[in-house]
Amino acid sequence: MDDDAWSAKYLIRGLRDFFPHATFHHYDGQERNVMERCHGADAIIMDMALGIHNGVEYCAQLRYADNITPVLGITSFLVDDYRQSFIDAGGQGLLHKEHIEQVAMALRAVVQGQPMDGFPTPAQAFDALIQSEQEPLTPREQQVIDEYRHTGSAEAVAQTLHIAVATVHKHLQNIRRKQPFTKKSTIEFSYNPDPPPRASDQHQ
């Protein structure tokens, strides 16, 4: 997942030398239901800078729903700028994207269940994120976030639940306070001015 098409093409071309039989899919992070498209992958290579979102948010969003798929972060900036936040979000490693050989070696390792030094396994990261939720959501807050995940619109949530838009915003504010990673990853990620048709929620 990289919003720079040239960079993604360069990376995939380089990785094919190490994984000639692998199938690669490129997303720029703006596709509808992009996280759902990533489910079932052997691994995800995720850039840290993805337009209005970033790899930390996307990784946390995935990890809340998936304790299996490894996520390897890449960046063209300083690795240390993202390292700790990417660990906290549930990633399995982070490298500079120009170091193709290192990325390939790390990719092979994380697919085999071996994260980079200092990074958790997907299962460890999932458990840590769930345990980090300091306060459970109320039933009403859970309804609000479930609807918001589908629509990305406070107005649509208000109409569906028959409450005021201001009340929806208040619930979202409380959810952001209670759940540190969901404050961006499950709320901001879901925004789409043209919401997709409602599907079964994989995050229940």
Distances (CA, A) of 180 to 43, 107, 129, 144: 25, 28, 9, 17
**pTM of structure:** 0.68
> Residue 53: phi, psi to the nearest 5?
-115, 180
pLDDT digits (tens, 9 = 90+) for 27-54: 999 888 888 888 889 999 999 998 877 8
- Residue 91: how many other CB atoms lie within 10 Å: 31
CB environment 143-153: b (16+ within 10 A), e (fewer): bbbebbbbbbb
Instruction: State the DSSP code for 17.
Output: T
Per-chain mean pLDDT for the chain? 85
Q: Which of 47-51, 71-75, 91-95, 182-186 has the lowest mean pLDDT?
A: 182-186
**Is residue 93 pLDDT above 50, yes or no?**
yes
128-144 mean pLDDT: 79
The pLDDT value recorded for residue 96 is: 96
The pLDDT value recorded for residue 183 is: 40
As a whole number of angstroms, the distance between CA 94 and CA 80 comes to 9
Contact 87, 118 (CB under 8 A): yes
